[in-house]
Amino acid sequence: MKRKIRVALYGVGVIGSMVAKFLLEKEGLEIVGAVDVAKDKVGKDLGDIVGINKHLGITISDDADTVLSKTKPDVAVHTTTSFMEKVYPQIAQIVKHGVNVVSTCEELSYPYLSSSKLARELDTLAKKHDATVLGTGINPGFLMDTLVIALTAPCQEIKRIKVVRVMNAATRRVPFQKKIGAGLSAAEFREKIEHKIISGHVGLEQSITMIAAALAWELDKIQVDAVEPVIAKKTVRSDAIRVEAGQAAGLRQCAYGVRNGQKVISLEFQAYIGAEEEYDAITIEGTPIIKQKISPCVHGDVGTIAMVCNSIPKVINAEAGLVTMKDLPVPSAAVEDMRKYVKP
């Protein structure tokens, strides 16, 4: 590809802004448009909103159709919300312009169980308009699914897979700290989780489904335990939130893929302010046994930005349709001029 890859941002919140700043430093690629509905962003210059001391001449608009038809991007980086029902119309809108999509929507990472009808419709629509759609990120998208799948490659047989991710949420973006309930009393935490006012981590079911699909394991069911607060034993704090002893510092979530009555895939996710040991651990009980521990854990926001941007050339190269990380070539970083990774 000789000309620069043209990228539009659809969603300029915390992650969209971090993506923008990262892409502005990359060679072989240009940001050509930006869409967001937040009233305090619409009409502003992208440079002001992402917090760089420079006007970029790109005005954030809430009119996605106009932005997409005028700027004709190759890819839209979509970072608005976590749920398929909400993002479906947004992604359908992008795809109808024949534009590829890389999205951080967690449920889109492997939507074939939780939102199978919408997934099929999106796949059909994307094929019709010759566009590729991918849901990715650090988790779901890599640490608790794609990496796990890659680690099964040297196994002759597998009995069980266990994955644990533990992180100190103080180092993560503020919307994340809020969605894990940091700073709430235990009662408020349970009430807000129950009424879906805070979402907790979204994606464990999608990760389990992706792993099972890669292994062609038919699961009896996916069991999801109630989300539990991790209660602070002493005062802990992030830059934005102070958590007193006895309050929720974050959460612990577990989900299991059950096959023939056995929990064959176990995912445990812990994110709380003040976690002292941070790690990503994968254990595959099989032949051979595989134990892998990344310590400290991969930083979620940094990793998400990289996963999204590194996926841009892979999505441009892919066949049209809804694809998942499991379907794409081996994930890898795109550290050189981005055009070098696009097939001629």
Ligand X SMILES: NC(=O)c1ccc[n+]([C@@H]2O[C@H](COP(=O)([O-])OP(=O)(O)OC[C@H]3O[C@@H](n4cnc5c(N)ncnc54)[C@H](OP(=O)(O)O)[C@@H]3O)[C@@H](O)[C@H]2O)c1
Q: Provide the binding-site residues for ligand X, judged by CB under 6 A.
A: 11-16, 35-38, 79-82, 90, 104, 106, 137-141, 173, 175, 304
Residue 8 and residue 95: Cα distance in Å, rounded? 13
Looking at beta carbons, which pairs linking 114-122 to residues 24 or more positions away fall under 8 Å?
114/84, 114/205, 114/206, 114/209, 115/84, 115/85, 118/84, 118/85, 118/88, 119/84, 119/322, 121/88, 122/88, 122/91, 122/92, 122/95, 122/322
Write out the two tokens for 334: 């795109």
Shortest Å, Cβ 342 to ligand X? 24
CB nearest ligand X: which residue? 13
- Which is closer to ligand X, CB of 37 or CB of 113? 37
Close Cβ partners of 87 (under 8 Å, ≥ 6 residues apart):
78, 80, 81, 103, 105, 107, 108
228-231 and 221-224 strand pairing: unpaired
Residue 200 and residue 79: Cα distance in Å, rounded? 17
Q: Say which residue the tokens 């947004």 belong to.
A: 90
Shortest Å, Cβ 143 to ligand X? 8
- Which is closer to ligand X, CB of 126 or CB of 144? 144
- Which is closer to ligand X, CB of 28 or CB of 80? 80
Q: Which alpha helices (H) appear in the chain, and where do they start and end?
A: 14-24, 46-50, 64-71, 84-95, 116-128, 146-151, 174-179, 186-194, 204-215, 300-317
Shortest Å, Cβ 79 to ligand X? 4
Residue 180 and residue 171: Cα distance in Å, rounded? 13
Shortest Å, Cβ 15 to ligand X? 3
- Which is closer to ligand X, CB of 79 or CB of 266? 79
Shortest Å, Cβ 2 to ligand X? 31
Residues present in the chain in total:
344
Shortest Å, Cβ 109 to ligand X? 6
- Which is closer to ligand X, CB of 33 or CB of 137? 137
- Which is closer to ligand X, CB of 19 or CB of 219? 19
Shortest Å, Cβ 338 to ligand X? 21
- Which is closer to ligand X, CB of 16 or CB of 274? 16
Shortest Å, Cβ 3 to ligand X? 27
- Which is closer to ligand X, CB of 139 or CB of 168? 139
